[in-house]
Structure 1
Amino acid sequence: MRKRFISTLGLGLLLGGRLWAQSGYTDQAALTKRLQQLNAQYKNLTSLQSIGKTSTGKDLWVLSVGQGDRGKKPAVVIVANLEGWHLAATELTLQTAEKLLSGASSDSVARLLTSKTFYFLPNLNPDAAAQYFAKLKYERSSTARPVDEDRDGRVDEDGPEDLNGDGLITQIRIEDPTGTYRVAKGDPRVLVKADAAKGEQGQYLVYTEGIDNDKDGAFNEDGLGGIHLNKNFTFEYEPFKPGSGDYPVSELENRALIDWLYENKNVYAILTFGPANNLTEAYKFDPMKANQRVVKGWQAKDVAVNEYVSKLYTATGLKDAPSLPSTKGDFPSWAYYHFGKLSFSTPGWWMPKDTARAGSPRPAGATPVPGGRPGMGAGRGAAASPALGSEEDVELLKWAKANNIEAFVEWKEIKHPDFPGKKVEVGGLVPFVKWNPPVAMLTPAAEKHASFLLSVAKAMPEVEIVNVQTETLSPGLNRITVDVHNKGLLPTHSELGNRVKYEDRLKIVATPAKNQKLVSGRTHQLVRTAIAGNGVEQLTWLVSGTGTFTIEASSAPAGSSKVTVNLK
């Protein structure tokens, strides 16, 4: 019996006689304990809050980090694991928070924590993440609320089955001349889509491991739960698509997140750990999408900001990440297009480009199918799981072998009731292996992300009122001129924020003394266009009378400044 430990999964189960050891990923109970310990250890710098619960009663935690009144300081929000299968995102968020707090005694970090706030939300889909720790393990993105996914009047009646008894849901492959999958060139274990345009012929039908319980021709299309959070937000929401729900923001989890964000007006930018990436490679400006009535492309000034922040990101050494576009109905897109905030996203960790070494990132192969659970809802001949679809999976297996990680369940022939007389085999990539390395491999990435967050915080806008000038035009009549300066390197809000009515723009409030009269200028005004990094907005008032004249510039995401002018 081989006793080779599989450090990738942290599952503590038997697979074909081999022991799979825990690798340190945290279930909901351990996550809660870890957050509570952090909050107790750094009680002067943190607060812990549940912003809601899942349908099974699991808390959605937010760890707030900063000095003093955190809700009144410009903030960065870090959101992780809306997918459920992305345990590395949760771990990266926790480790990044820990590293930020452990460095709080240094002068540079301490200064930042007096003026900025960081909100860490490490796991927004704990019910789906629980599948990693369950007896039957498969990649799942759906919330736990029962849903009739195939609209046959029954709920959760056709989930996966463990046909080879290893505790994992992988794939089944069926030899068939009508199949659409072929053997990969670099590794006969890996199956990829056959490209008819290149003269390639398929050899296999491929499905998620299981049977057609309800005999509707589809495999595992109506398993536990059914709504995928990253398909259920309002921007480009697609109704009637599997996993998207009957209407947007139908789930307790994303409703709690949105409500909390709207209540916290100090949020300046959002970083999402997930399967999208605009940090190692910034978005390109597309004037057609950016200028149409329903905006579907980043605005020109926001693209410039994205490029700058991308340079901050890659300067940490976080490079060579895969190209991962946003998907319809996902959170990072909502955060920009409908919430009006600068929204950045990254998988956080990816398989190294050099497969012979471990450490920093680059995941091989296609991203998990939208919705997460491998191939759930796939009918005959349909695409199956996230473990299939790319020759790069060959590189993943090379990397796993070089790092002593068990990443593949060898194909094993079985008898399948839905395919009598056919050769059917069970096997494929181990669930979770593509995006969740051994936890020890995440430490360098967490250090780099902590450094990146500090760089972003340093660059964030910070308003100050400078160059205060008073000019006496006649006895008792004065002109006051000030420059409202953004001494940060980033704008006071996104360009798209000009079009999003909710955005908390910079407000200028002038308060005359009781015996003063404002001849020109306004007591309250908005700076509707964002002040660029190191930019200035000049304002002027004509005031009659003597005494103190107070001017305050403030914006929850950009800070505040106040001056008093004495008129004689």
Structure 2
Amino acid sequence: PCADAQAEPPRLAFNRFYTYEETTAALQALERAWPRHLKLATIGKSVEGRDLWVMTIQNPDSGPEATKPAMYIDANIHGNELQGTEVCLYTIQYLMENQTKLPRVKELLDERVFYILPMVNPDGRAWWFQGPNTASSSRSGKKPVDDDGDGLFDEDGLDDLDSDGEVLGMWKKDPNGAFRPTSADPRILERVRPGEKGEYIFLGQEGIDNDGDGRINEDGPGGYDMNRNWPRDWQPEPLQNGAGDYPLSLPETRAIAEHILAHPNIAGVQAYHNAGGMILRGPGDQSLGEYPGDDVRVYDELGQTGEFVLPFYRYMILWRDLYTVHGGFINWTYEDLGIFSFTNELWNTGQYRGRVREDLSGFDRSSAEGMRWDDLLELEHQFVKLKPAKHPLYGDIHLGGYRKTSGRLPPLFLLEELCHRNAMFTLYHAYELPRVRFRSVAVEKVSDETHYVTVTLENSRTIPSRSAIAAARGIGQPDLLELTGASLQVLAAGRLRDKFRGALERVRAEPARLRLESGVPGKGSVDLRFLVKGRGEGKVTYRSEKAGVQESSFTIP
């Protein structure tokens, strides 16, 4: 058994995807194996009553959970975006299996806390496995929504006409059609040029008119987007499609928001999505303006390192490089809570070829070249050739196209590498959370009755103890440095503007309790000075929501 394991550790394989039930069992087995470091709890229920599991990871022997910087990681906010759940499971297992093998892992467990929520949308995940779906459905959860405004809810979704477990494209032979087989690969139907005649018309994805309104597949399960339901810059329909009735109107988003708000030590956030090969940050809307320069420099260092670790990914800004998002999760966690936050889109088809993105111009998985990669690497599994079927309205048709496992999900033989690389990026993010320590606490005589106590706080990591946006907007509590001593009286105190000349930014109220509004900068330090009357033992205590608690003792002789 692995070190510290108190039960036989689960042998989780990462060449497959796990259902909700299997993920739950895996989390429970991990906790049984490593109960000292792992605590599994449910923070709420989904619309259909499934648990929202959160695994808390830390070393309880190194101090209370609330006094350590924390990393929050979640996945699967969209039901069809599966593989982030596997990355979460991989991260938990990797930390546990390597706690005695790798000093970096031991340090992370000693000095950090991880809150990992593998399934934000367990109902959507369950539906993707159980129901007829494409690669892009169903993003939504399962709260019924009247998408077509006919007074009925979820009454006309996708239909698996031939019960083969797939929802494919519907094609019908037509001598005046707009599509024809390509010469490079007759399985691929291409649109004809103006003036040319094709052989097929496209009728949409498999489905029938279940409610008799003349439309097909227009009102499937759910119909909202949990990643548009967060408080920051929330906009109602139709300004933001899928926004929900109001911010945090869904049980899943509200439970997660309450969990994050209850843990102000969370200093980093990672959300896993599934397609595009992106490392995304906000803003989600151009009108919100750019982030403070000091925070942008932190984001750039983290994001550019991510590009190195994830060679097929690009570090991107949501509104500028992708699209506008109102009410997005990472926009809320950074802009309203001051937490450095990323969304990773986990799969890039460039990984299929094993070449970096600069070498992929013109590569399309639906092209003849892309089909050849599928044929050779997955033995024609991902594409279903056209096959005859009957439709109650269209008569004789053909069904064909890519399976739901294609396009947005990695081939299973590449899943473990995807899990490892993304887990390592997130562990790097966690490592760069603030680590503030006392560099020095010096006592200097001023007079027979008074002394200076000069304190230097140093942050050895990239992320500051308080983000610039948090300082500017008054988010959370500022850092605090407090001097105490039974026989000591603080007469004056403040931050040293120039420690060589002794220029002091003196505070007027409570000089024994210095508020550090801007915190301690990443890879930087701050110098503070107390003018103290009296002699004897004293203590300085540093407290920070994001950087934890540190103490140091001194003596005035």
2:47 aligned with 1:55: yes
- What residue number does 1:113 align with? 109
2:521 aligned with 1:524: no
- Taking structure 1 as reference, are residues 206 and 32 closer, same or farther at Cα in structure 2, changes over 3 Å only? same
- What residue number does 1:104 align with? 99
- What residue number does 2:217 align with? 220
Q: Provide the TM-score with structure 1 as the length reference.
A: 0.79
Count of matched residue pairs: 511
- Taking structure 1 as reference, are residues 248 and 440 closer, same or farther at Cα in structure 2, changes over 3 Å only? same
- What residue number does 1:255 align with? 254
CA distance in 2, matches of 1:182, 1:91: 39
Counterpart of 1:482 (choices 455, 463, 468) is 455
CA distance in 2, matches of 1:404, 1:279: 25
- What residue number does 1:80 align with? 75
- What residue number does 1:566 align with? 555
Counterpart of 1:442 (choices 415, 427, 449) is 415
CA distance in 2, matches of 1:565, 1:499: 34
- Taking structure 1 as reference, are residues 58 and 535 closer, same or farther at Cα in structure 2, changes over 3 Å only? same
* Shift of residue 38, structure 1, vs aligned partner: 0.7
| Contact 1:486–1:534, Cα closer than 8 Å, also in 2 | yes
CA distance in 2, matches of 1:560, 1:132: 44
| Contact 1:231–1:330, Cα closer than 8 Å, also in 2 | yes
Matching of residues 307-456 of structure 1 within 5 Å = 307-320=300-313, 325=322, 328=325, 329-353=327-351, 355=353, 391-394=364-367, 396-404=370-378, 406-419=381-394, 424-456=397-429
| Contact 2:79–2:138, Cα closer than 8 Å, also in 1 | yes
- What residue number does 1:300 align with? 293
CA distances 1:121-152 after superposition (whole Å, capped 9, x unpaired): 11111111112321534431221122222222
2:150 aligned with 1:161: no
Deviates most, 553-562 or 271-280: 271-280
* Shift of residue 336, structure 1, vs aligned partner: 2.0
- What residue number does 1:536 align with? 525
| Contact 2:52–2:252, Cα closer than 8 Å, also in 1 | yes
- Secondary structure of the residue that 1:237 maps to in structure 2? coil
| Contact 1:283–1:303, Cα closer than 8 Å, also in 2 | no
Q: 1:131 is aligned with what amino acid?
A: W
Deviates most, 510-519 or 260-269: 510-519
CA distance in 1, matches of 2:258, 2:391: 47
Q: 2:434 is aligned with what amino acid?
A: P
- Secondary structure of the residue that 1:474 maps to in structure 2? coil
* Shift of residue 195, structure 1, vs aligned partner: 10
Q: Percent identity?
A: 28
Q: Unmatched 5+ residue regions in structure 2?
A: 1-13, 494-506
CA distances 1:240-276 after superposition (whole Å, capped 9, x unpaired): 2443222222111111111101111111111111147
- What residue number does 2:471 align with? 498
CA distance in 2, matches of 1:509, 1:440: 55
Q: 1:208 is aligned with what amino acid?
A: Q
Q: 1:316 is aligned with what amino acid?
A: V
* Shift of residue 398, structure 1, vs aligned partner: 3.2
- Taking structure 1 as reference, are residues 511 and 100 closer, same or farther at Cα in structure 2, changes over 3 Å only? same
* Shift of residue 311, structure 1, vs aligned partner: 3.5
CA distance in 2, matches of 1:318, 1:46: 32
Deviates most, 98-107 or 509-518: 509-518
2:5 aligned with 1:34: no
2:149 aligned with 1:131: no
- Secondary structure of the residue that 1:269 maps to in structure 2? strand
CA distance in 2, matches of 1:233, 1:36: 29
Matching of residues 542-553 of structure 1 within 5 Å = 542-553=531-542
- Secondary structure of the residue that 2:378 maps to in structure 1? coil
- What residue number does 1:8 align with? none
CA distance in 1, matches of 2:514, 2:441: 18
| Contact 1:548–1:567, Cα closer than 8 Å, also in 2 | yes
CA distance in 2, matches of 1:247, 1:185: 51
2:56 aligned with 1:64: yes
* Shift of residue 53, structure 1, vs aligned partner: 0.9
- Secondary structure of the residue that 2:322 maps to in structure 1? coil
Deviates most, 149-158 or 453-462: 453-462
CA distance in 2, matches of 1:233, 1:48: 25
* Shift of residue 566, structure 1, vs aligned partner: 2.3
Counterpart of 1:43 (choices 35, 48, 55) is 35
* Shift of residue 185, structure 1, vs aligned partner: 8.7
- What residue number does 1:386 align with? none
Q: 1:255 is aligned with what amino acid?
A: R
* Shift of residue 365, structure 1, vs aligned partner: 12
| Contact 1:184–1:391, Cα closer than 8 Å, also in 2 | no
- Taking structure 1 as reference, are residues 441 and 152 closer, same or farther at Cα in structure 2, changes over 3 Å only? same
Q: 1:170 is aligned with what amino acid?
A: L
- What residue number does 2:169 align with? 171
CA distance in 1, matches of 2:283, 2:250: 33
- Secondary structure of the residue that 2:309 maps to in structure 1? coil
| Contact 2:174–2:198, Cα closer than 8 Å, also in 1 | no
CA distance in 2, matches of 1:200, 1:529: 67
CA distance in 2, matches of 1:55, 1:443: 31
- Taking structure 1 as reference, are residues 354 and 146 closer, same or farther at Cα in structure 2, changes over 3 Å only? closer
* Shift of residue 52, structure 1, vs aligned partner: 0.8
Q: Provide the TM-score with structure 2 as the length reference.
A: 0.81
CA distance in 1, matches of 2:159, 2:213: 16
- Secondary structure of the residue that 2:17 maps to in structure 1? coil
CA distance in 1, matches of 2:220, 2:361: 25
CA distance in 2, matches of 1:562, 1:140: 51
CA distance in 1, matches of 2:139, 2:97: 32
- Taking structure 1 as reference, are residues 417 and 131 closer, same or farther at Cα in structure 2, changes over 3 Å only? same
Q: 1:437 is aligned with what amino acid?
A: P
| Contact 2:75–2:119, Cα closer than 8 Å, also in 1 | yes
* Shift of residue 315, structure 1, vs aligned partner: 3.5
CA distance in 1, matches of 2:197, 2:336: 43
* Shift of residue 91, structure 1, vs aligned partner: 1.1
CA distances 1:310-355 after superposition (whole Å, capped 9, x unpaired): 3432343543469773652332332222332111121233333463
- Secondary structure of the residue that 1:112 maps to in structure 2? helix
- What residue number does 1:385 align with? none
Q: 2:405 is aligned with what amino acid?
A: F
* Shift of residue 62, structure 1, vs aligned partner: 1.0
- Secondary structure of the residue that 1:306 maps to in structure 2? helix
Deviates most, 113-122 or 312-321: 312-321
CA distances 1:349-390 after superposition (whole Å, capped 9, x unpaired): 3333463x69x999x999xxxxxxxxxxxxxxxxxxxxxxx9
* Shift of residue 113, structure 1, vs aligned partner: 0.9
CA distance in 1, matches of 2:481, 2:332: 29
* Shift of residue 475, structure 1, vs aligned partner: 2.0
2:84 aligned with 1:89: yes
CA distance in 2, matches of 1:185, 1:234: 51
- Secondary structure of the residue that 1:150 maps to in structure 2? coil
- Secondary structure of the residue that 1:219 maps to in structure 2? coil
CA distance in 2, matches of 1:565, 1:348: 50
